[in-house]
Amino acid sequence: MIELLDDLDAWSRHGVAAGRAVVVRTFGSAPRPEGAALLVADDGRISGSVSGGCVEGAAAEEVAQARRTGLSRVIRYGISDEQAWDVGLACGGTIDVLVEPTVRAEIGDAGRQLGRAIVIALPADSPGPESGQVKPGQGAPPADPLVVGEDGSLSGSSGVPGTDAQLVEAASSMLNAGRSRTVEIGQRSFFIEVFPRRPRLVIVGAVQVAIPLVSLAHTLGYETVVVDGRAAFATRERFPDAGELIVGWPDEVAEAIGLGPSDAVAVLTHDVKFDEPAIVEALARGCRYVGAVGSRKTQGDRRARLAEAGVSDDALDRLRGPIGLDLGGRNPAETALAIMAEVIADRYGADGGHLRLRSGGAAST
């Protein structure tokens, strides 16, 4: 949704209102993930997608209908659903799409400020969490959404304190993972749409591998920080895409950059006096991913030294070393790709295995 806000703002400046459709559930090999959105302006212009192209025209008609009635509803749409929009998902998947007559102000605010999750109670006649033949109901006027901050704060209420606590917990987890989805709490369905801050990768060591790693991370939407004690290595000429270049010791600059649980850290220095303080600091601050270069023997020796220095077994279990997934490549760009692949897999709780070996429900690529 964030990428659509510029279009929404441009339409608004010209006095053109809009509604939207947003994917709230997926089943099987769906073409777009939960949170994928389509905006439809009153003058017929559209922006975004809920299906990769196969149902956009029908979705636009549903949004136009919602604009006329003022009602929100959820439509289940799949290849076998003859009750739906009379078109099919070529991939064979099924999606639930929330159609809304307006784009809520809270969504625009969250998309511009980031670090927030918007919780929308789905209409009571919405399809349930199981896929199948479902005739959509008539919908209801949009209810006020709840807003959950990255600090766990909650604005608004579901009316049930226990439900509110569960929604905050779920929204906080989704903000951390960067993924929207629908949850079922107390026989009610809530779509939690997240607007997380950009993930950050902190790279310790301005070595050759770090150059393509910064480039890959930048392309994938990560903020990047490169830290090295050698001014000749940490230069803008070598790292034109880096968000920050810092000359100094990583354990000393951690506070200045706000190193914390949402960060991924890749330690690439091959220098004990430089990399081990960085590892200790990253583990102590609970960084979501901490990886370090080095052979298995190097990793074993390093872990022994870190244990002697007081690093707990639980913390050491979080250290990824040797760093990266085994892609078979060994040149700097291939190594950078292997590191970035592991960072992403770790973020989404995946193991980096082959999709062709997955059984059922695999995401489409």
CA distance 360 to 340: 26
Give me the pLDDT at residue 92, please: 59
pLDDT per residue of the chain (365 residues) written in tens, 0 to 9: 888 999 999 999 999 999 999 999 998 777 789 999 999 999 999 999 998 666 788 889 999 999 999 999 999 887 544 434 444 455 557 899 999 999 999 999 998 888 899 999 999 988 888 876 566 678 888 889 999 998 899 999 999 889 999 999 999 999 988 899 999 998 899 999 999 888 999 999 999 999 999 999 999 989 999 999 999 999 999 999 999 999 998 878 898 999 988 899 999 988 888 889 999 999 999 999 999 998 889 889 999 999 998 999 999 999 998 999 999 999 999 999 999 999 999 988 888 888 777 665 444 44
Give me the pLDDT at residue 84, please: 40
What CATH number does domain 200-347 carry, 1.10.3720.10, 3.30.360.10, 3.40.1160.10, 3.40.50.720?
3.40.50.720
Give me the pLDDT at residue 183, please: 96
Give me the pLDDT at residue 55, please: 79
Q: Residue 156 gets which letter from DSSP? A: S
Find the angle CA(354)-CA(359)-CA(360) to the nearest 5 degrees.
120
8 Å CB contact between 139 and 70: no
Cβ within 8 Å of residue 177, ≥6 positions away: 347, 348, 349
pTM here is 0.73
| Domain residue extents for the chain | 2-128+136-195, 200-347
Cβ within 8 Å of residue 324, ≥6 positions away: 291, 335, 338, 339, 341, 342
Q: Residue 318 gets which letter from DSSP? A: T
Number of Cβ atoms within 10 Å of the Cβ of 347: 17
Output the CA torsion sign for 305, 307, 310, 316.
positive
CA distance 102 to 106: 11
